[in-house]
Amino acid sequence: MAFISLQEAAGRLGVSLSYLRDLLDRVDRIPTVLDAEGADFWTSTTGVIHERDLRTYEHMLRHRRFVRLRERYADVLVEDAVLAIRPGWKSILEHVCDRIRWMPAQWSMRLRKAKEQSGYLVLGFEYDRDQPAAYNELERLREEIRLMSLAVCEECGRHGRFRYSPSRSLTLCDKHARLAEPVLPGDGVIADPASDGALLSELPHD
């Protein structure tokens, strides 16, 4: 049975070593890495994996890069649309794309960006700015999706909640809550970062 180093695996997958380590952590596959007893997963240079596992990670990367979604919704995504979110929000992204398909053709609506910010989903669009109804509908959609994302784990799509963290606040289920640790006082109380004194009109989007 062939084994390859984590460094070689990262190179063959076209990602950095730190990204591969982070991926193994997020999908609970650290135990599949073979290394000397007591070696630290995050710093060891001697860890190896089964070469056959590369196919599994290739599939995961395609999923995280939304390859099929980009193909399925090519008509409503701008070329090279930025989809900087985790795979747990894939169903929300599909909902957005389906909504765009039902919008009037004269709006020329296309999704330009979807990214996580402060634990919720932020959307960016291209559209005919001479269409006031298009702008109004987009504002409603942005807020609907923002609130929807605050109840869905970014990592796996299960029910989640806003995790208030000094490093990076995220919306996560209990299983993936560790990704936002440590948390700040107020975690579990603040369900929506906009409720913490911010006006919805002040929330970033473009």
Paired tokens of 104: 């009037």
Rg, the chain, Cα only = 20
Least confident of 105-119, 129-143, 145-159, 180-194: 180-194
pLDDT tens for residues 111-132?
Answer: 999 999 989 999 999 999 999 9
pLDDT tens for residues 61-74?
Answer: 999 999 999 999 99
Give this prediction's pTM.
Answer: 0.85
- Write the DSSP string, 175-189: TTGGGG-S--TTTTT
In this predicted structure, the answer to whether residue 201 has a pLDDT above a threshold of 50 is no
Q: Where are the domains of the chain?
A: 3-61, 67-202
Its sign, for the CA torsion 9, 13, 16, 19, is negative
pLDDT tens for residues 35-91?
Answer: 998 899 999 999 999 999 999 999 999 999 999 999 999 999 999 999 999 999 999
End-to-end CA distance of the chain: 51
Beta bridge partners of 170: 163
Name the phi and psi angles at 10, rounded to 5.
Answer: -60, -45
Name the phi and psi angles at 163, rounded to 5.
Answer: -110, 120
Lateral strand order in the sheet of 120-126: 77-84, 110-117, 120-126
Give CA separation, 38 vs 7, 20, 41, in Å: 19, 20, 9
In this predicted structure, the answer to whether residue 197 has a pLDDT above a threshold of 80 is no
